[in-house]
Amino acid sequence: MPLPADELLQGTLDLLILRTLSREPMHGWAVSHRIQEISKDALRVNQGSLYPALHRLEEEGLIEAEWGVSELGRRAKFYEITAAGRRQLARESATWRKFAEAVQLVMQFA
């Protein structure tokens, strides 16, 4: 049963997007596809959340957008993580790890 990514904890979608873009610039569809693929279909990003999130991150300067040519030979908007975005990603990843470990501990021993 795939889990809609927008039902995850707030901020998690931003984290996933930043992490995905941290490897290489890609367009919106690729971001959602990659998340779905890597999570083995466990996470599915709804377009209704993806694009608002992308534009918000762009506005916050965590990612940058540029129009380029896609694999289809069509104009597409590519997103690239910025230095500020990388810093943010590092911070958020650490927080996330701590959180995940904590939840894990509680689930095991509580």
Partner 1 sequence: MRILRKAMHRVRTLVRPRRVARELDEELSFHLEMQTRWHETQGLDRATAHALATREFGGSIRFREAVLDTRGVTWAQDLTRDIRFALRSYRRAPAFTAIAVLTLALGIGTTTAAFSIIEAVLIRPLPYEQPDRIVTLTGRDSAGRDIASVSVPTFDDWRDQSRSFSAIALYATARRAVIAAGEAAHVETANVSGDYFRVLGVQPALGRTLMADDVARGEPVVVVSHGFWTRALGSPRTLPDTPLRIGAEAYRIVGVLPPGLEYPAGVDLFVPDPFAAPWRTASRNNINFNVIARLADGVTIDQARSEMRAIAARVHAAHPDDLYGVGASVTTLQRRMVGPVESYLRLLAGAVIAVLLVACANLANANLARGAVRGRELAIRTALGAGRWRLVRQLLVEGVALSVSGGVAGVLLAWVLVRLVARTSAVELPRAGEISVNGTVLVFALALSIGVGLIVGLAPVLQVGRSALAATIAAGGRSTGSRRRAASRDVLIATELALAIVLLVGAGLLIRSFHAVISRDLGFTPDRAVAAELSLPPTRYSGRHASDFYAELFSTLRAVPGVTAVGATNSLPLGSGAMGFVAVEGQADVGAGAGYRVVSDDYFRAMGIPLLRGRFFGPGDDSGTTRVTLVNRAMAERFWPGQDPIGKRFKAKSMEWKDTPWLTVIGVVGNVRHWGLEQDAPVEHYVLYRQRPEFALNMAVVVRGGNAAAVMAAVRERLRAIDRDVPADLGTLTARVDRSLAERRFVMSVLIAFGALALVLAAIGVYGVLSFSVAQRTREIAVRMALGAHRRGVLALVVGHVLRVSVVSAAVGLLVARSLSGLMSALLFDVSPADPRTYVVVVAVLIGVALIAAYAPARRAAAVDPMLTLRSE
Q: Which residues bind partner 1 (CB under 8 A)?
A: 27-30, 33, 46-48, 51-53, 55-56, 58-61, 67, 70, 72, 74-77, 84
15 versus 62: smaller Cβ distance to partner 1: 62
Of 60 and 101, which has the nearer Cβ to partner 1? 60
* Angstrom distance (rounded) from CA 56 to CA 50: 10
Q: Give me the long-range contacts of 59-63 (CB less than 8 A, separation at least 24).
A: 61/85, 62/14, 62/18, 62/88, 63/17, 63/18, 63/21
Exposure on the CB side of residue 61, measured as CA atoms within 13 A: 3
Min dist CB 15 to partner 1, Å, is: 17
What is the smallest separation between the CB atom of 43 and partner 1, expressed in angstroms? 15
Least distance from partner 1 to the Cβ atom of residue 95, Å = 20
